[in-house]
Amino acid sequence: MYEPDRFRSPEYLAVLDDQATDAMFSIPSDKLEIMRKSAEAGYPLEICGLLVGTLNDAGWVIHDIRPVANLNEERAADRFQLDPAGYQNIDRELRGTGVEIIGVYHSHPDCPAKPSPTDLESAWEGFAYPIISVCDGKAVDICCWAINDTAAAFQNIEMKETAS
């Protein structure tokens, strides 16, 4: 898999926490496939969207995914800016349903499924962050991340694909 030099730089390595975590990210296989296909369709630009579900002591349980527009027009090949109106509309729609927005997914065109310093700057504690690596238009890897206890880096979260 292609990995630009910047992903091996001290700045990029500093956003990764290699401490083990017991947290789990559970997602139905059909939702995972939609994320993959969306990332491939958006290539060579970054796509993004929201994860809808519940959070419990074991981790994140995804019920649905909702694509949201990437408003970053200047650097859409390596940055995303989640449409705040899209977020607000989905948040409003979910009120009283028993599920909520519990994460944000996005793609990394021609880059690994690892978070960047920019990803860390915009991350929220308690959210799950799956990243889809898309190389030459094909989704090749998906890894899930979450902010660690000190909010200083991302920890890799084990993904569990469930029946749809």
91-102 confidence digits (pLDDT tens): 999 999 999 999
- Say if residue 93 is exposed, middle or buried (CB neighbours under 10 Å; 0-12, 13-18, 19+): exposed
Per residue in 123-163, pLDDT (tens digit) is 999 999 999 999 999 999 999 999 999 999 999 999 999 99
User: First-to-last CA distance in the chain?
Assistant: 29
State yes or no: pLDDT of 111 exceeds 80.
Answer: yes
Q: Which residue has the tokens 């028993």?
A: 98
Domain ranges for the chain: 5-162
- Res 8: pLDDT: 87
State yes or no: pLDDT of 1 exceeds 70.
Answer: no
Per residue in 12-55, pLDDT (tens digit) is 999 999 998 999 999 999 999 999 999 999 999 999 999 999 99
Six-digit token string for 109? 């065109």
Q: Determine whether domain 5-162 maps to CATH 3.30.70.20.
A: no
Query: Cα separation of 72 and 31, whole Å?
Result: 24
Average pLDDT over residues 62-75: 96
Average pLDDT over residues 108-135: 96
Name the band, by pLDDT with cuts 50, 70 and 90, for residue 120: very high
Name the band, by pLDDT with cuts 50, 70 and 90, for residue 164: confident
- Res 135: pLDDT: 96
Phi then psi for residue 14, to 5 deg, are -70, -20
Per residue in 56-65, pLDDT (tens digit) is 999 999 999 9
Alpha carbon 89 to chain centroid distance?
A: 19
Per the confidence metrics, is the pTM higher than 0.85? yes
- Res 3: pLDDT: 85
Phi then psi for residue 83, to 5 deg, are -65, 115
CB 94 within 8 A of CB 60: no
- Res 20: pLDDT: 85
Six-digit token string for 72? 């970053």
Q: Residue 146 carries which side chain, given as an amino acid letter?
A: A
